[in-house]
Amino acid sequence: MITLAEVQAFCTVARAASTPYTLLQAVEGITAAMGFRYFALVHHIDLLNPGSTAVRLVNYPRNWVDAFEEGRLYAADPIHRASHTTTIGFAWSKVAAMISLNPRDHAVLATARSAGLGEGFTIPAHVPGEVNGSCSFAMRTGEELNAEQLPLVQLVGSFAFEAARKIARATIAPIAAAPQLTERQIECVALVAQGKTDWEIAKILGVGAETVTQHLKDARDRYGVTKRTMLAIRALFDGAISFTDILR
C-alpha cells in the first residue's frame, strides 16, 4: 500500500522532470510502488504528426504494443473510449458499464488479456483544444486491484500526465504574440466561431452587414490571417474567446 507521502514525493519529482527519460524513471518507480506492473501514459493519437509532440510513455508487453499499432486500435480502443466519458479514474472491469462494447471491443480486450495485461486503472486527461490523453496502470493477468489506494493512483496518474504534457509542450515553439482585438471585433469573432454569417452577426449586433464585414476584415489583419476559420482558432488559442463563448 502506497502512502500519501510517497505520492507527494513523486509529484515533486514529476513536476521537476525536464526530459521524458527522467519522467519515465519516476513513473516506473511509482508504478512498482503502487503494486502495478505496467503503465501507459499516452495521448490518444496524433494522426498528423505521429511522435512529434504527442505524449507517449509505455511499458506494456511488447506483443500487445505491436498488435495495438498494427491493428490501428488507438481510435477504437474501448479503454480510451471509456476515458472520454469521465473526469476521474476507473477500473477496466467497469468499462462495460460506461460504454457499450461491440464485438470488436471484446476482441481487443481479449487480445490484451492474452498479451498478459490483467486488471487496470485508467485516469483520463483532457484539455480543450488538445488531443485527449490518459494514464493507465495495469497488473499482470490474475492479480487484483487494491481498491483502497485507487484515489492515490488517480493522483499519480494526473500528476504524471501533466508532467509529460509540460515536457511535450516545452518543445513547441511559442506562437507569435497575440494581438489585441477591439471589443466589437471580439464579439464578431465569437459569433463567427459559432458559424454565423456576416449577415446574421449584423442582425445580432444590430448593425449593418458591411460593418461586420469590416470588423472581421480588421481582425483578420491583426492576426495576419486570411480566413475566418483561422481567425476563430487563433482567437480561441490565445484566450480572446473561449469554448464557453461558443458552445452552449
Name which of residues 137 to 196 contact DNA (CB under 7 A): 180, 182-185, 196
**Closer residue to DNA in complex, CB, 144/221:** 221
Phi, psi dihedral angles at 86 (to 5 degrees): -150, 165
CA distance 156 to 27: 9
**At its nearest, how many Å lie between a second copy and the CB of residue 223?**
10
Q: Where are the beta strands (DSSP E) in 31-116?
A: 38-43, 56-58, 90-91
Residues in contact with a second copy, shown as a per-residue x/- string from 172 to 211 under the rule CB under 8 A: xx-x--x-x--x--xx--x-xxxx-x--------------
Interface residue with a second copy, options 16, 32, 88, 170 (CB under 8 A): 88
Task: Find, among 88, 93, 82, the residue nearest to 138 by Cα.
Answer: 93
CA distance 129 to 131: 7
Site for a second copy in 93-152 (CB under 8 A): 99-100, 102, 124-132, 148, 151-152
CA distance 97 to 78: 12
Q: Where are the beta strands (DSSP E) in 78-196?
A: 90-91, 117-125, 133-140
**At its nearest, how many Å lie between DNA and the CB of residue 208?**
3
Task: Find, among 122, 23, 33, 32, the residue nearest to 79 by Cα.
Answer: 122
Task: Find, among 179, 177, 205, 176, the residue nearest to 190 by Cα.
Answer: 205
Q: How many C-beta neighbours within 10 Å does residue 232 have?
A: 22
**Per DSSP, what are the bridge partners of residue 120?**
138
Residue 151 interacts with which of a second copy, DNA, none, CB < 5 to 8 Å by class: a second copy
Question: Per rule CB under 8 A, is residue 51 in the interface with a second copy?
Answer: no
Residue 236 interacts with which of DNA, a second copy, none, CB < 5 to 8 Å by class: a second copy
Residue 41 interacts with which of DNA, a second copy, none, CB < 5 to 8 Å by class: none
C-alpha cell at 206: 444590430
Interface residue with DNA, options 84, 217, 242, 243 (CB under 7 A): 217
Residue 121 interacts with which of DNA, a second copy, none, CB < 5 to 8 Å by class: none
Question: Per rule CB under 7 A, is residue 21 in the interface with DNA?
Answer: no
Binding site for DNA (CB under 7 A): 103, 180, 182-185, 196-199, 202, 205, 207-208, 210-211, 213-217, 220, 226-229
